[in-house]
Amino acid sequence: MFKAPRGTSDLLPDKQKFSRHIESIASQLSSLYGYSRVDTPTFEDSSLFVRSVGEGTDIVDKEMYSFDDRGGDSMTLRPEGTASICRAYLEHGMHNFAQPVRMHYFCSVFRYERPQAGRYREHHQFGIEAIGDPDPSIDVEIIKFAHDLITGIGLNQINLFINSIGDSNCRPAYVESLKKYYETYRDELCKDCLTRIDRNPLRLLDCKNEECSQLSIEAPKSINYLCEECESHWESVLDYLKELEIPYTIDHKLVRGLDYYTKTVFEIQPKDVGGQSTILGGGRYDALIEQIGGRAVPAMGFATGIERLTLNLIKESVDIPDIKSPKYLVINVGDKARIRAIKIADQIREKGTGAMVANGTRGLRGQMRQANSLNVPFVIIIGESELERNELVVKDMATAEQNICSINDFMSAL
Ligand code: HAM
């Protein structure tokens, strides 16, 4: 028996309502905020992600699904959406559009991670990016969008964590002092952190190992090392957040798992945190477009995982309306009635109302059971005698009330 590959899953009809609900709120907010939809390919040149997400990150070092295609080019199934959007911005000369260019996307994302609840090898993201504006008001617009999305789908018990990790001006001095701090605790660090000291010191701060995590509490804080420009950007972001009354917590350990961030970084977590707690993350990435071959263009965005949101909606028992079944199931008894049922269902659908034909090889009872399990509000019953009189029976499944009427009258009433 074949099974879905480890860390992937089939999304069956009974779970679809959660994703559809999230997608619907995300799409509504995208049009309210003016973020247009963009779709990019599922795979890209591997070097796009190496240059943007960064060597030394878990994603690039351990998690990418990369392969040489038949032409010998190295391709990678996207491990995130931002790099592709930036590639598209450059490729299509979007710097000529009115700036910032506001875009949103829904995409599948592939990371070879150790699967557990909320962590999969294929997951689905909704994300937004605003490219071409350095102003702190954009940071706050994006954080507010994120907040509206999470509360809009029904998750209200959340924390917003925020930090600034500076830019190429001020970060080197910060990273130096971070390295110095951790050097003194070399003996206590986990194996991964020993390599992080040299390869990617910022990531020392978000190591999940208990001892490393204890050390990070006293580690130097990036906001104490900001240059004048980053400092004033940071102050404005906090001022605007206060003005918009968005509650936040400054988290000095928040550095994010991708290397392209500058200045503002943020994450949203449910208050009642479990293993895979972050449901949404993002930040400013003013140097990314330059890193992949363009001129310097400032940008900011976030992404959220649909599966993690779904887990939280279920955990919080958020009431999501079921996806409606078609209004009518056309039950038919006898060969002639079966053919007529197809036509009746077709006529109902032409009027814009949902209709399905029941499995006529089953008897009346079997078809009624089908109606119950499909949860249709009404059934139409036709047998040989109804056909002779050009009539049908309509049964309301909630009240069990039945009415006989002529097929013509029924269709005109629709
Ligand atoms: P990220 O934090 O790596 O950021 O992923 C965004 C969200 O995707 C996470 O908050 C989480 O909900 C979900 N997620 C990540 N990995 C997994 C996984 N293995 N299984 C299930 N869900 C997962 C980014 O991808 C950035 N591109 C966000 C961004 C956009 N920054 C700026 N613009």
Nearest to 188 by CA among 169, 215, 167: 215
Q: For a pocket test of ligand 1, which of 80, 119, 273 has the largest count of ligand atoms closer than 8 A to its C-beta?
A: 80
CA of 215 to the centre of ligand 1 (A): 26
CA of 234 to the centre of ligand 1 (A): 23
For the CA of 280, the closest atom of ligand 1 is: 10
CA distances (Å), origin 255, targets 63, 166, 278, 286:
19, 11, 13, 15
- pLDDT at position 208 is 84
Instruction: Please check the confidence at residue 322 and state whether its pLDDT lies above 80.
Output: yes
Q: Which of 123, 124, 259 to mutate to test the pocket of ligand 1 (most atoms within 8 A of CB)?
A: 123
Lowest mean pLDDT among 54-58, 216-220, 262-266: 54-58
Indicate the pLDDT class of residue 276, thresholds 50, 70 and 90.
Answer: low
Looking at the DSSP bridge assignments, the partners of residue 195 are none
How far, in Å, CA of 382 to CA of 315, rounded?
44
Cis peptide before 100 (omega within 30 of 0): yes
Q: Which residues line ligand 1 (CB under 6 A)?
A: 80-82, 111, 113, 118-120, 123, 125, 127, 129, 257-258, 278-283, 301-305, 307-308
Band (pLDDT 50/70/90 cuts) for residue 187 is very high
Residues 6+ apart with CB under 8 A from 107: 39, 40, 42, 78, 81, 84, 124, 125, 127
Measured between alpha carbons, how far is 174 from 201 in angstroms, rounded to an integer? 10
Give pLDDT tens digits for 78-115.
999 999 999 999 999 999 999 999 999 999 999 999 99
From residue 412, alpha-carbon distances to 240, 355, 385, 405, 406 in Å are 58, 16, 22, 11, 10
Phi and psi dihedrals of 257, rounded to 5?
-95, 5
pLDDT for 108 equals 98
How would you classify the pairing of strands 328-332 and 355-357?
A: parallel
Instruction: Give the residue from 405, 412, 373 showing the smallest Cα distance to 390.
Output: 405
Q: How many percent of the chain have pLDDT more than 90?
A: 91
Looking at residue 274, its pLDDT comes to 55
The predicted model gives 24-49 an average pLDDT of 98
Q: Which residues contact 330 (CB under 8 A, 6 or more apart)?
A: 341, 344, 345, 348, 355, 356, 357, 358, 379, 380, 382
Q: Biggest alpha carbon distance in the chain?
A: 93
**Is 257's pLDDT higher than 80?**
yes
Torsion, CA 260, CA 265, CA 271, CA 274, rounded to 10: 20
User: Which 3 state secondary structure label does DSSP give 98?
Assistant: coil
Residue of 268, 308, 309, 311 to mutate, ligand 1, most atoms within 8 A of C-beta: 308
- Please check the confidence at residue 380 and state whether its pLDDT lies above 70: yes
Q: Looking at the predicted structure, is the pLDDT value of residue 245 above 80? A: yes
Work out the percent of the chain whose per-residue pLDDT is above 70. Answer: 99
